[in-house]
Amino acid sequence: MHTAESRPEKVKHETDNLKHEDVLNKGLKISLIIILAITGLSFTLALIICNPYIFNKVRIWRLTRDMTGGTSIIYEIDTTGMSEEQKKNLSQKMILVLQKRVDPQGVRPIVWRPLSDTRFEIQIPPDLKYLTAKDIQRMLKGAGILEFRILPTEGHPDVDMAAMNGYLERLQEKGPKQASDKEYIWCEIENFVEWRSSDSQQRPTIVGTLGDKYYVLASNKAGQVMLHSPGTRDWKLDRVYPTSDHIGRRAIGFVMDYIGGKLMAEITGNNTGRPLCILLDDIAISAPCIEERIPGRGIITGNFTETETADIINKLNAGSLPAKLIEKPVVVKTIDVNIGS
């Protein structure tokens, strides 16, 4: 009787144990599923972040989904000849300079995002209606490098005209790069009408044509150049500002640092009476005649519009870029204001 009466209690006890084991098993399964899900998500995120192509695609997809209107511009950096070490954080370095060009006062709500070491994105919000993608592309054009070269002229006692004619012939045969050497280099002229007008007031410079472009022959000799090439003394501009020339036209004033001032004083002091070519991104803008020694302060003259003047000033004040941008953006996308609403 005692054994029969205790059996229900034993059965109940075994049932409770089974229920407890089921709860534990279910808990373990749920925990395992959660761990696998977190692991899978982490792996996916790592794959996206480590793969620049996928990462960029996801960023563009997010922008088109989340951005309530506006424009996205994605640029690629030209890294030709650069080492892997030089490419590290390159887009962030480029952004620091380009921001100063587009937004010198730091008041425009433009978003700048590095997408990889060699690619970055610019987001223009829809309320900046006065700033378009074309405006941004214009402002970012060029490397922002200002340089100076003395120009040979017809009739100058130090200029061999037979040699000059040889350079003109080689320009036609080989093009500007191949026709340049250690002594002289061909530089493209920005505005030939302006240049010809300036030439008529002084000894003519050595000008040649190729296709629809005009080129001027400039010195490449030590003591007649002020460049930023490797091995030269480092110099920079302290300040660039709007001003006017002697006949009231728009001009761009500049002040150099101590090293730049000494170099400018040397090149102008040793070449008085000769034209000094002012180049921006290897383009000859103007070539005023050196009337006296200039100790690091001068003006850039030319037939500039108000927009061109502002762009050049912002470009020079921002400083030169650590690398070149590929001129045409990878993506220019305008998102309708209704997307994502």
128-155: pLDDT as tens digits: 888 999 999 999 999 999 999 999 999 9
Report the percentage of the chain scoring pLDDT > 90.
67
Return the closest-CA partner of residue 151 out of 237, 66, 271, 36: 271
**Of 192-196, 239-243, 263-267, the least confident:** 192-196
In the DSSP assignment, the letter for residue 205 is B
Spatial distance between the Cα atoms of 127 and 298, rounded to a whole number of angstroms: 39
**Token duo for residue 150:** 């003395």
Question: What local confidence, expressed as pLDDT, does residue 170 receive?
Answer: 97
Check whether domain 146-318 has CATH 3.90.650.10, yes or no = no
Return the closest-CA partner of residue 217 out of 302, 150, 286: 150
Q: Average pLDDT over the chain, rounded to whole?
A: 85
Cα 58 from chain centre: 24
Question: Which pLDDT band, with edges at 50, 70 and 90, does 58 fall under?
Answer: very low
At 260 the three-state DSSP class reads helix
Instruction: Record the pTM.
Output: 0.75
Spatial distance between the Cα atoms of 232 and 259, rounded to a whole number of angstroms: 11
Question: Which pLDDT band, with edges at 50, 70 and 90, does 68 fall under?
Answer: low
At 317 the three-state DSSP class reads helix
Q: Spell out the residues 6+ positions from residue 317 whose beta carbon is closer than 8 angstroms to its own.
A: 100, 104, 237, 239, 240
Signed CA dihedral, 221, 225, 226, 228: sign only: negative
Question: Which pLDDT band, with edges at 50, 70 and 90, does 338 fall under?
Answer: low
**Of 12-26, 231-245, 262-276, 314-328, the least confident:** 12-26
**Residues 302-309, mean pLDDT to the nearest whole number:** 91
The DSSP annotation for 42-104 comes to: HHHHHHHHH-HHHHHHHHHHHHHHH--SEEEEEEEEE-TT--HHHHTTHHHHHHHHHHHHH-T
CATH number given to 67-141+324-335: 3.30.70.3400
Element (H, E) at 238: strand 237-244
**Token duo for residue 166:** 């040889």
Q: Is pLDDT of 56 > 60?
A: no
Question: What local confidence, expressed as pLDDT, does residue 143 receive?
Answer: 93
**Of 17-21, 35-39, 124-128, 162-166, the least confident:** 17-21
Query: Inter-axis angle of helices 2-50 and 52-66, to 10 degrees?
Result: 100
The CA-CA-CA angle for residues 175, 287, 163, to 5°, reads 45
Question: What local confidence, expressed as pLDDT, does residue 140 receive?
Answer: 95
Question: Which pLDDT band, with edges at 50, 70 and 90, does 341 fall under?
Answer: very low
Question: Which pLDDT band, with edges at 50, 70 and 90, does 197 fall under?
Answer: confident
**Token duo for residue 73:** 């511009």
Report the percentage of the chain scoring pLDDT > 70.
79
Q: Spell out the residues 6+ positions from residue 46 whose beta carbon is closer than 8 angstroms to its own.
A: none
Question: Which pLDDT band, with edges at 50, 70 and 90, does 278 fall under?
Answer: very high
Q: Is pLDDT of 57 > 90?
A: no
Q: Is pLDDT of 60 > 60?
A: no
Question: What local confidence, expressed as pLDDT, does residue 185 receive?
Answer: 98
